[in-house]
Amino acid sequence: MMAESFGNSFTIVEVASDDAPPTKQMWLALAKPRQALTLVLAAVPEGWTAQVVPVVLTESQQRSFEELNLNPGDVYRIDPE
Domain ranges of the chain: 10-56+73-78
What angle is formed at CA 29 by the lines to CA 38 and CA 17, rounded to 5 degrees? 55
pLDDT in tens, 59-77: 998 899 999 999 999 999 9
Q: Report the predicted TM-score, pTM, of the whole model to 2 decimal places.
A: 0.86
- The rounded percent of the chain whose pLDDT value lies above 70 is 94
Rounded Cα distance, 22 and 79, in Å: 17
- Give residue 1's pLDDT band: very low, low, confident or very high (50, 70, 90): very low
Tell me which of 80 and 47 has the higher pLDDT: 47
- DSSP structure class, residue 72: T
Tell me which of 77 and 6 has the higher pLDDT: 77
